[in-house]
């Protein structure tokens, strides 16, 4: 979103009550795909709003094809560029690469390890509600997959993004404590402050890089789930800046474009320290930053 007012207003839209796909979505002409997406939308929304946990779903051959294709292409890039915390999470969870995983199984395993869990998402959720789930120790995750005609592309977050981007981190206690802190603080924030927390989440949790033993590794879920973004973030076309929360929270972003500016985080601990400074600056509950 190139216009800052548009970015501000977008944080507070109401959640959709029926399936809405991007006009350029490759699945728009596929009747069977649309039926499945409508089913996934209704099922996830029902379970989420009633707090019924994560439903078990059946995946098709096309879904499994997409999953295998993406996993195979991401694997060597992850091995070379992903941060240690992510790779350790993948190893602990043993996320399958040949068959589509069930979120319910992943959620149960994560719950035992860190107390965090997964809640189903029918699609994009407004940011205050999204952060509210983090505050309660739940990561919203989708269960649908992108269209099989273009396994390397999606105009929206999907299961590839959520499971191969976010989920491996949820077995790390330092990480889940941090995202819960951001979630709790956001629930006390004004609308203007919420924009700052959203930018923090975007440039840190979604598109951050991280220092690791003298190297710069990929940390953000938006990078880790995208072959193109992982390659692009190391290119000369991208400005890589040291993480400074007061710069981060003033910078707008465009979610429809490859990210031209990314931040390098010294560590999750340092990101938390700076976040606590932001919480104090905003005059929010001091106990959050203790």
Domains of the chain in sequence order: 4-289 (1.10.800.10)
pLDDT at 26: 93
Q: What is the pLDDT of residue 290?
A: 53
Cβ(263)–Cβ(210) below 8 Å: no
Query: Model's pTM, two decimal places?
Result: 0.93
Interstrand relation of 215-218 and 209-212 (parallel, antiparallel or unpaired): antiparallel
Confidence band, pLDDT 50/70/90 cuts, at residue 2: very low
In the predicted model, is pLDDT for residue 52 greater than 70?
yes
Average pLDDT over residues 243-265: 96
> Given 3-state DSSP classes, what are the helix, strand and coil percentages for the chain, each rounded to the nearest 5?
55, 10, 40
Give me the count of residues in the chain.
290
Q: What is the mean pLDDT of residues 16-22?
A: 88
Taking 80 as the threshold, does the pLDDT of residue 288 lie above it? no
Residues labelled as active-site residues = 161, 166, 206, 225
91: its two tokens: 């190893």
Mean pLDDT, all residues of the chain: 93
Assess whether pLDDT exceeds 90 at residue 285.
Answer: no
Please give the pLDDT value at position 13: 52
pLDDT on residue 3? 35
Q: Say if residue 199's pLDDT is above 80.
A: yes
Residue 217 CA to residue 267 CA, distance in Å, equals 11
Does residue 11 register a pLDDT over 70?
no
Question: Given a cut of 70, is residue 123 above it in pLDDT?
Answer: yes
pLDDT attached to residue 48: 98
Segments of the chain assigned E as strands: 117-120, 138-141, 209-212, 215-218, 239-242, 261-265
**For 123, which DSSP code?**
S
Residue 95 vs residue 8, higher pLDDT:
95
pLDDT band at 4 (very low <50, low <70, confident <90, very high): very low
Tens of pLDDT, residue by residue over 64-114, are 999 999 999 999 999 999 999 999 999 999 999 999 999 999 999 999 999
């Amino acid at each position: 979103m190139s216009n800052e007012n548009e970015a501000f207003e977008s944080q507070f839209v109401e959640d959709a009550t029926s399936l809405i796909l991007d006009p350029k979505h490759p699945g728009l002409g596929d009747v069977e795909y649309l039926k499945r997406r409508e089913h996934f939308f209704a099922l996830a929304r029902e379970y989420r709003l009633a707090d019924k946990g994560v439903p078990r779903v059946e995946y098709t051959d096309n879904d499994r094809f997409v999953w295998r294709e993406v996993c195979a292409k991401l694997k060597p890039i992850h091995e070379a560029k992903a941060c240690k915390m992510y790779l350790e999470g993948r190893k602990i969870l043993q996320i399958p690469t040949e068959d589509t995983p069930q979120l319910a199984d992943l959620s149960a395993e994560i719950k035992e390890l860190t107390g965090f869990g997964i809640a189903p998402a029918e699609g994009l959720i407004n940011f205050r509600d999204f952060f509210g789930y983090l505050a309660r120790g739940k990561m919203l995750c989708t269960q649908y997959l992108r269209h099989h005609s273009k396994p390397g592309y999606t105009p929206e977050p999907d299961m590839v993004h959520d499971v191969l981007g976010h989920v491996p981190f949820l077995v790390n206690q330092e990480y889940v404590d941090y995202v819960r802190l951001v979630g709790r603080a956001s629930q006390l924030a004004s609308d203007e402050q919420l924009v700052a927390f959203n930018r923090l989440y975007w440039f840190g949790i979604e598109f951050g890089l991280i220092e690791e033993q003298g190297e710069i590794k990929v940390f953000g879920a938006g990078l880790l789930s995208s072959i193109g973004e992982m390659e692009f973030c190391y290119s000369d076309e991208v400005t890589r800046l040291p993480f400074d929360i007061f710069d981060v929270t003033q910078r707008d972003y465009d979610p429809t474009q490859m990210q031209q500016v990314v931040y390098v985080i010294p560590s999750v601990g340092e990101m938390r320290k700076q976040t606590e400074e932001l919480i104090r600056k905003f005059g929010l509950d001091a106990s959050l930053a203790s």
